[in-house]
Amino acid sequence: MISFLRGTVAHVGLSTAVIDLNGAGMSVFATPQTLSHLKVGTEAKLFTSMIVREDSLTLFGFADDDEREVFDVLLSVSGVGPRLALAVLAVHEPEAIRVAAHTGDGKTFTKVPGIGPKVAGRIVLELAGKLVPHGTGTSAQPQPPIKAEWKPQVVAAMTSLGWSEKDATGSIDKAMADSPELVEAGNVAQILRATLRWLGQDGARAGNRVGSRG
């Protein structure tokens, strides 16, 4: 079991990073938020979870141990694989996931692309008692805002999740129209999460309009 990686960042892609460990490159899947804080040529530490399959060994990397714990618990839900668990962490902070699971708030999970009401209901049912909120004193350390060139990074993160560049750009602009404070701070992680949440809510509104016409 590989618990963490510490080494020089050799490459950062849309969904993976390569960490150079004394000449050996380890490829790690991570959320767009985690990847946005990795810089090629600098040292980084990622907490990791290894997924073992018959034909592969895959590493998933996290900014802190709390993210990794939530990821591992999400994998215990039937029908939730590592890519979907990572998508949940791309949209919501670990503490928000803990609160949603603890309170049975399935709507929180439907804001994640690929999760509908049925899967969301299964998640809150199977996570009951497994994830407990830390409260206001969360152990996760806040990440510093990234003020430079945030929009290309958010667009790249969204295209890695399946949106076209055009749709991603338009969604970011609409989501940020009422959030000037996020635009000013330029925090990639916060803007990405806000945009994905806006997309989930906008999708629900669109569904309601279609239903009312029917």
| Per-residue pLDDT reduced to its tens digit, 170-208 | 888 888 887 888 888 877 777 888 888 888 765 443 444
Q: What is the pLDDT of residue 27?
A: 94
Helix (H/G/I), strand (E/B), else coil: 2: coil
Contact 27, 2 (CB under 8 A): no
| pLDDT per residue as tens digits for the range 87-100 | 999 999 999 999 98
H-run or E-run covering 20:
strand 16-21
The first and second tokens of residue 162, run together, are 């399946």
Tell if the pTM clears 0.75, that is, is over it: no
Distance separating the N- and C-terminal Cα atoms of the chain: 53
More confident residue, 56 or 212: 56
185/181 Cα distance (integer angstroms): 6
30/8 Cα distance (integer angstroms): 16
| pLDDT per residue as tens digits for the range 68-82 | 999 999 999 988 999
Rounded (10°) CA dihedral 198, 199, 205, 209: 150
Q: Hey, which of 38-47, 49-58, 102-111 has the most confident mean pLDDT? A: 38-47
- Measured CA distances, 134 to 33, 65, 108, 131, 158 (Å): 21, 13, 18, 9, 29
For residue 152, what pLDDT band results from cuts at 50, 70 and 90? confident
Does residue 132 surpass a pLDDT of 70? yes
More confident residue, 72 or 148: 72
Q: Which of 40, 56, 39, 34 is nearest to 48 (CA)?
A: 34
Residues 6+ apart with CB under 8 A from 27: 16, 17, 18, 59
The first and second tokens of residue 62, run together, are 């996290």
